[in-house]
Amino acid sequence: MDVRLDYGKEGLEISLPDHLDVKTLAYQSATPIAQQPGQTDRQALQEVLKHPTHASPLSEIIQGRSSACIVICDITRPVPNQQILEPILETLLAGGMAPSSIKILIATGLHRASRPEEIVEMVGEDIAAKYTILNHDAQDRKQLVYLGKSPRGVPMWINTHYMEAEMKITVGLIEPHFMAGFSGGRKLICPGIAGLETIREWHSPRFLEHPNAATGQLSGNPVHSENTWIANRAGCNFIVNVVIDAYRRPLKFVAGDQIYAFEEGAAFCRDIVIDRVKHPYDIVITSSAGYPLDTTSYQSVKGMMAAVPIVKPGGTIIVAASMSEGIGSKEFASLFERHSDIDDFMQAIMSPDYFVMDQWQLEMLAKVLKKAEVKVVTDGLPAETINRLFVESAESVEIAVAQALEKHGPQATVAVIPRGPYVMPELAS
């Protein structure tokens, strides 16, 4: 059996033994907007801008406002930014705003700054040339405004450019997220344009170790409720979010109120990305969804987490990720030097005095390793480096499968999630 995994920019073809009964998980059937009768992406966008959810039309909201800040995702999210920005910018200009009064702010969170060529890739040459485009820097206090502490005691630092704008707009992608339930909506503000101190506390064990801090879970999820509170405190006049299919074609646009439009999009996304299985599996093969999400070992954890709901305790997770940019931040890489194993790390982070930026991703890896072993296939890092990251390197998916079959037996059950974290596996009740 041949299967194609999302891997880098080109994908990865794998071949599995014919005797295996393999379950492949995928999106539910949905027709892209552009293939619907009498419909185009542009028309669908214009419609939600004119008839948004729990909000006045964008053209009305901007009246009397002389400046705008539009927040967009960074390169790690495959958002059709240019497609979405064009009608938004046209509306702002038609309402009397000058291009010089409009800033586009890249919600980097704690990711690296977007490179000039990546900015052009994200927004197109015309927008990149015409508008001021800024990278958020969570560690630069000069870029941040302090809004006090949330009821849970999280210090709220938010980007100055955003807070000073008369019109605040966020543009994002709604997809499953392994901590916050779903990406999009409030996440563009926290962590997108929040300060390090804010993200540090929001990503601390008191939030992440909660059982409801999980993929697809919004109700009772403290990660979701906290960043929603922070985003509301910062304020947002209008959001535009998109749900895309496996080929990154828009399936649905939502716009309007930061809470209600996001919830509408998340409900639609849930119906599309859930794939239910009858039983857990001995072996789960997954990916980190290919470029741009699988460029680092840090991001690959999201692919591992995708397999957790359906892998048997003591099972094997095989993840393929290009890791073309290496391990991740120097802080994340340092964690593997600081700690002998995952148990040592987990013991350390429970101290309120312990903090290393990006530690939360290793905390997520701990949840994976608590349930299953992990084998990693990549051409971005050498085997000896992978083996230092508390996981096991494998030369290929085929070799990793053969090793797993030796452990679980020739009749082991196998599932494949080609799109990794973009699909939400669920055990049927």
Contacts of residue 140, Cβ cutoff 8 Å, sequence gap at least 6: none
Of the candidates 111, 136, 161, 408, the residue annotated as catalytic is 111
- Active-site annotation holds for 111: yes
CA distances from 26 to 29, 32, 171, 276, 278 (A): 9, 16, 26, 10, 15
Per-residue pLDDT reduced to its tens digit, 346-358: 999 999 889 998 9
Of the candidates 136, 161, 177, 203, the residue annotated as catalytic is 177
Per-residue pLDDT reduced to its tens digit, 109-154: 998 999 999 999 999 999 999 999 999 999 999 999 999 999 999 9
Is the pLDDT score of 379 beyond 80? yes
d(CA 30, CA 28): 6
Please tell me the predicted confidence (pLDDT) of residue 292: 87
Q: Which among 264, 300, 252 is positioned nearest to 8, based on CA atoms?
A: 300
d(CA 18, CA 398): 12
Please tell me the predicted confidence (pLDDT) of residue 275: 96
CATH topology of domain 2-26+278-427: 2-enoyl-CoA Hydratase; Chain A, domain 1 (3.90.226)
Please tell me the predicted confidence (pLDDT) of residue 76: 85
Please tell me the predicted confidence (pLDDT) of residue 37: 94
φ/ψ (deg, to 5) at 135? -90, 130
Outline which parts of the chain fall under CATH 3.40.50.11440.
33-272
Mean pLDDT value across residues 212-222: 96
Task: Report angle CA 172, 175, 181 to the nearest 5 degrees.
Answer: 110
**Percent residues over pLDDT 90 in the chain:** 95
Is the pLDDT score of 313 beyond 80? yes
Say which residue, 290 or 76, is predicted with more confidence.
290
Please tell me the predicted confidence (pLDDT) of residue 353: 87
Please tell me the predicted confidence (pLDDT) of residue 338: 95
* Mean of all residue pLDDT scores within the chain: 96
**Cβ atoms 312, 365 nearer than 8 A:** no
| Residue 173: strand pairing partners | 242
Per-residue pLDDT reduced to its tens digit, 225-277: 999 999 999 999 999 999 999 889 999 999 999 999 999 999 999 999 999 99
Outline which parts of the chain fall under CATH 3.90.226.30.
2-26+278-427
**Cβ atoms 161, 69 nearer than 8 A:** yes
Per-residue pLDDT reduced to its tens digit, 56-82: 999 999 999 999 999 999 998 889 999
Q: Which numeric CATH code is attached to 33-272? A: 3.40.50.11440
Please tell me the predicted confidence (pLDDT) of residue 246: 85
Residue 46 corresponds to which tokens in the numbers above? 């214009």
d(CA 294, CA 317): 16
Mean pLDDT value across residues 152-164: 98
Is the pLDDT score of 429 beyond 80? no
| Residue 318: strand pairing partners | 285, 375
